[in-house]
Amino acid sequence: MKKTTRMFMLALIAVGTLSACKKEYTCKCTATITVPGLPSTSDDESTTIPKTTKKKAEKTCKDIETQLKNEVGQYGTATCSL
């Protein structure tokens, strides 16, 4: 009986340790565009990243930031945070 209980506890610990905590994350971005002769324009955007680990969500958010930077090009800036 003791051995069975011990094995069950070890199995629970192993499952808890090996499983990643998957949650929903939000990537918040701000893009600002400044064209000479026109007023600056700023836009905030949030993207929900469903059921993933924090590390993967950070990478996805960084990829979104890179894409925004490419879209605004030389006329603006873009920043994103998780």
**Ranges of each domain in the chain:** 22-81
pTM, rounded to two decimals: 0.71
Is residue 12 pLDDT above 70, yes or no?
no
Rounded CA-CA distance 81/30 in Å is 9
Q: What is the pLDDT of residue 17?
A: 52
Task: Residue count of the chain, please give it.
Answer: 82
Does 2 or 35 have the greater pLDDT score? Answer: 35
Residues 37-53 have a mean pLDDT of: 92
Q: 51: alpha, beta or left, given left = phi > 0 and alpha = psi -120 to 50?
A: left
Q: CB count, 10 Å around CB of 53?
A: 13
